[in-house]
Each structure stands twice: as structure tokens, then as C-alpha cells.
């Protein structure tokens, strides 16, 4: 491809963004790479800028000052807040390729009620549901009393991954329903609540990049959300991930594409929703059939830490093709090797934890790639600055081999209070 080098601004500062920075920097098409705000790891691949992902005016100035060609928002918040529309509407920014949907498209993640209605309109398999607001609170209570547990309650809006309750009995469901609607547990995000049927199955994450017309499928992945071994304890941002997913065989993936991915891309187009960017399908396999648990309008974290290293295409070229509406010209190539990632986290996470702990042993990590998640540079040290600290990704002939390499390195990298799950990929 004869495109010029592209100046790129990547928004975010976690393991996902460190992986994207690593991948973008690998491209011969990558010009200057900036990450806002980034972390100690992204600083190895580009220039970190002290700008918040939600500060659109500051982001605009960065784009103008650095002649940015491509904006890649890592997390959902700026997308749900409308950063794509902000760029389209501003003549100083409208030439920039934004790898993320319009505010309306981001509602697939930003509003559970929006995404459930969208799926209903396009016959996309998902759990049966009802939605309720403060006005229909009493109807909701009456409805819950007719239901079987377990049952799932979801705050409509973004709630930092905490807005979902899987109630084990109806009493617990009623308490959670009250907390969300009456006590506004999640503020405006819980002014509407979706109550849905509990689906019993195995989860996986599927990713597409779409230009609004065409799409390409990236390797699938599975993440491990619980803090404790054996998938126990509190939910976290993700303690590890694997790709490929052994139970996502080709007949299952055909169903995913035919029943979910294609109807989603076509449905967005048919409804005139402007969507150029990643679609993350949070799926569950129930008796061999795929159902959508949720959509996200971005890549997953820590799934990115295994999906992107397996992707062999040039990501900058893919984003340019996306911007030009030419993803039909891209054929995804990915490694036949398996990848596994293990997340080192701060002791106490996902509750409260200490920051500023010096990270050592970062040099002795051959055979693995370290993606920083919550780190900062302080004097000459790298210190912890978040709950999830470093993701260790390795390749192998199979998932076990890949993870065995990551676990060797997980032992060597140290900081006070380090914790990690020793059973990532345990089922395979
Ligand atoms: P969500 O934020 O919608 O992805 O929900 C968070 C997590 O709750 C999911 O990853 C699932 O593990 C679980 N979950 C959500 N909805 C359901 C459902 N209908 N049935 C079973 N588990 C669910
Ligand atoms: N790993 C799940 C997410 O990124 O939402």
C-alpha cells in the first residue's frame, strides 16, 4: 500500500492500549505515535501525553499540533460521550480517521435497553428481557415475582462493569432492583433497568472491525473475569485471556457470523447508524448455540493482549481501509499459534489497593511480551499505578504451552502485593 506514514493518537492507558501501541508501532505505516494518557509501557512505543480521554478540547489541540491522521479511542467512555461526532463536526478535525463509532453506534454498549431493542429488531439471539424505569417500578416488582431465579438485572448505562447483578433468588433480585431504581445505586446509569433471563453456558468474546458496510473478523478470545481461582470471588476487569477458544469450532463460528455478526453490521447500516470501528460481541454458548450477552463498542481488555498479537495484518493499514470504506480488500491473517496472557494485579484488587510499588524483574522476560496496564515511570523506576499492573502474553503450540511461558515470567516480575491467578486456561 502506498499510503504515507500516519500520525496516530491512541486514547487510554491500560493493557489494551499498550498492546495496540506495540502493534501500531510495528507498522511501517506508523509515523508519530501518541498515547493519551498512556502508561510506562506505552512510553516505549510512542509519546505519552497528559491528556484525559474525556477532554475533547485538549484532544483536539493535540490533533492539530501533531497533525494527527488517525484517532484510536481504546476505552468506551469517549465513544459513548460522542468523540466521533465531535471530530466529524469540526472542520479542523473532520479529515482524521476515527476508529470508533458515532455516539449513536456506541449506544450498543452505552445503553443495555438500546442494544436489547436493536437485537430484537434484527432477530439476533439474546436472553429474553423486559425493561423498567422508576415510573414502572411496581410493574417491575410484580414481574420479578413471576420469574424464576437465577435472574439477571442490568443497569441501563455505563457502570464501570459493576452494573450487572446475577440474583440467586427473587428476594435478592428485588433488593438489587430497588437499589438500582429507587436508590440510584449507579446514578443516572440505573434510571432504567433491564431484567433478563439467566443463560447457562460458556462465554467467549468475538471481535469485528467494520467500516459500516464490510467487516473483518479478528481472532476470538476468552477472558477470565473473577479474581479467584476456579472462577470464584469478585468480578474484575479481567485476570487473563486466551486465544483461540477451543470450543469455538468452525460450525459454531459459522452460527456466530450468520446469526450475530452479519445481522449486527447489516442492522446498523439499515438503520443509518454511523459505525466505523471495533464491535466486541460478548457471547455465551448454550447447548451449542450462540447468544449475545452484551455488545461493546471497542476492543476488550485483556482480550486485546492475546487477539492483537495473533493478528498478522498491518493494523494501521486496516484502520486506513476502514476509514476509506474498503475493508472488503482486507483478508485477516492470524498466527496458528495459541496465545495466553496472565494479568499481574495489585494485592487487594478489585477492592482497594496500594499504588507506587516498585516493579522489578522486567528485564528477564524473554519469550513473553509484557503489556503494561497500570504502571507509571517515577524517577528511574517503574511503579504500580493501578489494580491491573502488567499482562504477560506468550505464544505456544497450544494454550497450555503458551500459558506455561507466561507463568515462568509471572514468577520473575515482582512488586509488593503482587497477585495473579494460577489457573488461567484451566479448562483446556
Ligand atoms: P455484561 O456487563 O452484560 O457483560 O454482564 C457482565 C457479566 O454478567 C457477563 O460477562 C456474564 O458473565 C454475566 N451475565 C450477563 N448477562 C447474563 C445472562 N443473561 N445470563 C448469564 N450471565 C450473564
Ligand atoms: N474483558 C471484558 C471487557 O473488556 O469488557
pLDDT in tens, 277-327: 999 999 999 999 999 999 999 999 999 999 999 999 999 999 999 999 999
- φ, ψ for residue 157, nearest 5 deg: -95, -175
Q: From 115, 168, 293, give the residue whose CB has the most ligand 1 atoms within 8 Å, as the site to mutate.
A: 293
Residue 304 Cα to ligand 1 midpoint, Å, equals 19
- Residue 421 sits at the vertex; the CA angle it makes with 417 and 424, to the nearest 5 degrees, is 155
Mean pLDDT lowest among 126-135, 314-323, 414-423: 126-135
**pTM attached to this predicted model:** 0.95
Is the distance from the beta carbon of residue 300 to the nearest atom of ligand 2 less than 6 Å?
A: yes
- φ, ψ for residue 219, nearest 5 deg: -55, 145
Is pLDDT of 2 > 80? no
**What are 9's three cell numbers?**
493518537
Is pLDDT of 1 > 80? no
* Nearest CA, atom 3, ligand 2: 300
Q: Kindly list the distances between the CA atom of residue 20 and the CA atoms of 267, 307, 410, 420, in Å, as whole numbers in the listed order.
A: 28, 10, 21, 23
> What integer pLDDT is reported at residue 364 of this predicted model?
81
Is pLDDT of 267 > 90? yes
pLDDT band for position 159 (50/70/90)? Answer: confident
Residue 188 Cα to ligand 1 midpoint, Å, equals 20
Residue 413 Cα to ligand 2 midpoint, Å, equals 24
Residue with cell 503489556: 371
Residue 206: cis peptide before it, omega within 30 degrees of 0: no
Residue 293 Cα to ligand 1 midpoint, Å, equals 6
162: DSSP letter: -
Residue 272 Cα to ligand 2 midpoint, Å, equals 27
Q: Give mean pLDDT, residues 145-163.
A: 87
Q: What is the pLDDT of residues 22-55, one digit of tens each?
A: 999 999 999 999 999 999 999 999 999 999 999 9
pLDDT band for position 183 (50/70/90)? Answer: confident
Q: Identify whether the C-beta of residue 359 lies closer than 8 Å to the C-beta of residue 415.
A: yes
Domains, the chain: 7-101 (3.40.50.20), 128-197 (3.30.1490.20)
Name the percent of the chain lying above pLDDT 70.
99
Q: Identify whether the C-beta of residue 73 lies closer than 8 Å to the C-beta of residue 79.
A: yes
Is pLDDT of 395 > 60? yes
Edge to edge, the sheet with strand 70-73 lists: 47-48, 30-37, 6-12, 70-73, 97-98
Q: Identify whether the C-beta of residue 371 lies closer than 8 Å to the C-beta of residue 386.
A: no
Q: Give mean pLDDT, residues 140-158.
A: 90
Nearest ligand 2 atom to alpha carbon 299:
4
- Please spell the DSSP secondary structure of 372-390, one letter per residue: ESSEEEETTEEEE-SSEEE
Which ligand is the nearest neighbour of the Cα of 306?
2
Q: Where are the alpha helices (DSSP H) in 276-398?
A: 304-310, 315-323
Residue ranges around ligand 1 (CB below 6 Å): 127, 152, 154, 164, 166, 196, 198-199, 203, 282, 293-294
**What are 340's three cell numbers?**
495466553
- Residue 285 sits at the vertex; the CA angle it makes with 283 and 286, to the nearest 5 degrees, is 130
> What integer pLDDT is reported at residue 251 of this predicted model?
96
- φ, ψ for residue 105, nearest 5 deg: -65, -35
**What are 32's three cell numbers?**
508519530
Mean pLDDT of the chain: 95
Q: From 128, 129, 152, 226, give the residue whose CB has the most ligand 1 atoms within 8 Å, as the site to mutate.
A: 152
Amino acid at each position: 500500500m502506498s499510503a504515507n506514514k500516519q500520525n496516530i493518537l491512541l486514547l487510554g492507558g491500560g493493557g489494551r492500549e499498550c498492546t495496540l501501541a506495540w502493534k501500531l508501532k510495528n507498522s511501517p505505516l506508523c509515523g508519530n505515535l501518541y498515547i493519551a494518557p498512556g502508561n510506562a509501557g506505552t512510553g516505549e512505543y510512542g509519546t505519552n501525553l497528559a491528556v484525559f480521554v474525556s477532554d475533547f478540547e485538549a484532544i483536539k489541540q493535540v490533533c492539530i499540533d501533531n497533525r494527527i491522521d488517525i484517532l484510536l479511542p481504546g476505552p468506551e467512555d469517549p465513544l459513548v460521550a460522542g468523540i466521533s461526532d465531535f471530530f466529524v463536526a469540526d472542520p479542523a478535525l473532520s479529515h482524521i480517521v476515527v476508529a470508533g463509532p458515532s455516539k449513536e453506534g456506541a449506544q450498543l454498549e452505552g445503553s443495555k435497553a438500546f442494544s436489547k431493542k436493536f437485537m430484537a429488531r434484527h432477530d439476533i439471539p439474546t436472553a429474553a428481557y423486559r425493561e423498567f424505569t422508576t415510573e414502572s417500578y411496581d410493574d417491575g416488582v410484580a414481574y420479578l415475582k413471576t420469574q424464576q431465579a437465577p435472574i439477571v438485572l442490568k443497569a441501563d448505562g455505563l457502570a464501570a462493569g459493576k452494573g450487572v447483578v446475577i440474583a440467586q433468588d427473587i428476594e435478592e433480585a428485588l433488593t438489587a432492583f430497588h437499589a438500582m431504581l429507587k436508590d440510584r445505586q449507579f446514578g443516572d446509569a440505573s434510571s432504567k433497568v433491564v431484567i433478563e433471563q439467566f443463560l447457562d453456558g460458556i462465554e467467549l468474546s468475538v471481535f469485528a472491525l467494520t467500516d459500516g458496510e464490510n467487516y473483518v473478523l479478528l481472532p476470538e478470545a476468552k477472558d477470565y473475569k473473577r479474581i479467584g481461582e476456579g472462577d470464584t470471588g469478585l468480578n474484575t476487569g479481567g485476570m487473563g485471556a486466551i486465544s483461540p477458544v477451543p470450543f469455538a469450532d468452525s460450525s459454531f463460528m459459522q452460527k456466530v457470523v450468520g446469526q450475530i455478526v452479519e445481522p449486527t453490521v447489516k442492522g446498523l447500516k439499515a438503520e443509518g447508524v454511523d459505525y466505523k470501528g471495533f464491535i466486541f460481541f460478548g457471547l455465551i454458548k448454550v447447548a451449542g448455540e450462540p447468544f449475545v450477552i452484551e455488545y461493546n463498542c471497542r476492543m476488550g481488555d485483556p482480550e486485546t493482549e492475546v487477539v492483537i498479537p495473533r493478528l498478522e495484518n498491518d493494523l494501521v493499514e486496516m484502520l486506513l481501509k476502514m476509514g476509506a470504506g474498503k475493508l472488503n480488500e482486507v483478508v485477516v491473517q492470524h498466527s496458528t499459534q495459541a496465545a495466553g496472557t496472565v494479568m499481574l494485579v495489585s494485592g487487594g484488587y478489585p477492592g482497594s489497593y496500594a499504588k507506587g510499588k516498585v516493579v522489578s524483574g522486567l528485564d528477564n522476560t524473554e519469550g513473553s511480551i509484557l503489556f503494561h496496564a497500570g504502571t507509571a515511570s517515577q524517577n528511574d523506576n517503574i511503579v504500580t499505578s493501578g489494580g491491573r499492573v502488567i499482562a504477560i502474553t506468550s505464544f505456544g503450540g497450544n494454550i497450555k504451552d503458551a500459558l506455561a511461558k507466561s507463568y515462568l515470567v509471572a514468577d520473575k516480575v515482582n512488586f509488593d502485593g503482587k497477585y495473579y491467578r494460577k489457573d488461567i486456561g484451566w479448562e483446556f
